[in-house]
Amino acid sequence: MSSTPHQASARARANIALAKYWGKLDAELNLPAVPSISMTLDPLVTETTVEFRSDLAADELLLNGERALDVEIKRATQLFDRVRAESGVTLRARASSKNHFPTASGLASSASGFAALAAAARAAAGLAFDAARTSALARRSSASAARSVYGGYVELPAGRAGDDALGARVLFPPEHFALSIVVAVTAEGRKSVGSTDGMTHTRDTSPYYEAWVSAAPALAREVSEGLAVRDLGRIGRAMEQSTLAMHACGLAAGPGLLYWQPATLGAFARVRELRGEGLEVYATMDAGPHVKALCLASDAAAVAAALGKVPGVLRTLLATPGPGVEVF
């Protein structure tokens, strides 16, 4: 049981997968079929306040000051229901979430959003802070959110049947390796096919799905070993293979999932050209058209300047390894 319900706030950051999660072992428990590794990104912060109140008939959710869509409120309610079950709180919740980075930045806010919501809801229900439980709770809503609970370089292992306690873990703290991510934003607005629908469609129709699931663990291992010895080349080569294998798997679905725009390929090609010119930089893409370039922090300004000139790139954004979730 918890102490008296009250209000709490939490701050969490977006993350970028260096080794991708794509595919669910169990859709109901939202367990990933493959391990993934990410970098938590400063300054891409989401701040969320949750209050359990006796005057509410239903849960409420404001996103950047506006009432969320019904599907978004439903996903928040599922999270609140789990917190209510654990804490014994029966009241409905009012939540307000703000992204301190442009929504059209090309970085999904679901990871930082659900990490902050999980931490704030647990604290508001009077549950003591517990990173492992917070990560597992966030994972039920969005697997990538499990990683945003922690700072630095983070791994979410593949799920095991029935293991609803699955959460992420820290591989290395932010200061372990001074890398930067340069985001090349190539389009405005929401992505066309959300990650859950994309994963289900891929599993159901892509002849490459099994090949992806069996190839992913070795790529995650390579990223992890590259991080351990601070070898950007090793991390970067595995990261590019991970993203291209994930996209290849989606491209082969029926109908194929094509998240790229012309500028996506332009930016990706430019990254490879920059390598030819002696700048050590690697690229990755998620379920959207933006390119995220990984390089040493000391090269980030040069990479941003080069990618900013690629036709179709609207702007660039810089991020560095950041801390895990903070409750206040």
Query: Among 95, 137, 143, 238, which residue interacts with ligand PMV (rule: CB under 6 A)?
Result: 143
Take residue 51 and report the two structure tokens written for it.
Answer: 């209050």
CA angle 36, 39, 43 (to 5 degrees): 145
Residue 269: partners with Cβ closer than 8 Å, 6 or more residues away: none
Please, what is the minimum distance in Å from the beta carbon of residue 54 to ligand PMV?
33
Residues 13-32 interacting with ligand PMV (rule: CB under 6 A): 17, 20-22
Nearer to ligand PMV, 108 or 303 (CB): 108
Applying CB under 6 A, the span of 139-147, 173-181, 219-227, 315-323 interacting with ligand PMV comes to 139-147
Question: Half-sphere exposure of 31 toward its Cβ, with a 13 Å CA cutoff?
Answer: 15
CA pair distance 140, 244, nearest whole angstrom: 26
Residues 255-314 interacting with ligand PMV (rule: CB under 6 A): 286-287
Say how many residues touch ligand PMV, by CB under 6 A: 14
Smallest CA-to-CA distance from 268 within 238, 240, 291 is with 291
The residue whose two tokens read 């991970």 is 242
Query: Among 2, 40, 135, 144, which residue interacts with ligand PMV (rule: CB under 6 A)?
Result: 144
* Bridge partner list, 63: 66, 97
Nearer to ligand PMV, 36 or 264 (CB): 36
CA pair distance 161, 159, nearest whole angstrom: 7
CA pair distance 199, 206, nearest whole angstrom: 10
Nearer to ligand PMV, 79 or 125 (CB): 79
Residues in contact with ligand PMV, shown as a per-residue x/- string from 177 to 196 under the rule CB under 6 A = ------------------xx
The contact set with ligand PMV (CB under 6 A) reads 17, 20-22, 36, 108, 110, 142-144, 195-196, 286-287
